[in-house]
Amino acid sequence: MPNIQPSTILGTHYNDISSFCNDNREPMFITKNGQGDLAVMSIEMYENLNGKQELYRLLDEGMADIQAGRVRHYNEVFDEIEQEILDGHL
């Protein structure tokens, strides 16, 4: 169940908002004049959300490469990585 609060809570209850977002690992939704206005979340949750977005972007990119035929055998890739390690590039 989302936690929805009016904007007046921002100035007077910052510590409560911070504790809620960090302890529960979920956002608090702030309304202004009865309408949704902001979503407040912990830095940890924000970074997690951005990480998921980046993962989905990379997966989409990989799927597009597969569909376009831009693929290599895994042995070739691992051999290339191993050589880069031996050459001191990784």
Q: Which long-range contacts (CB under 8 A, 24 or more apart) does 7-11 make?
A: 7/31, 7/32, 7/37, 7/38
3-state secondary structure of 89: coil
What does the pLDDT read at residue 22?
97
Percent of the chain with pLDDT over 90: 86
Mean pLDDT for the stretch of residues 1-28: 92
Q: What pLDDT, in 10s, does the model give residues 32-75?
A: 999 999 999 999 999 999 999 999 999 999 999 999 999 999 99
Chain-wide mean pLDDT for the chain? 95
| Burial environment of residue 75 by CB neighbours within 10 A (0 to 12, 13 to 18, 19 or more) | exposed
Give the Cα separation of 90 and 88 in Å (integer): 6
What does the pLDDT read at residue 1?
79
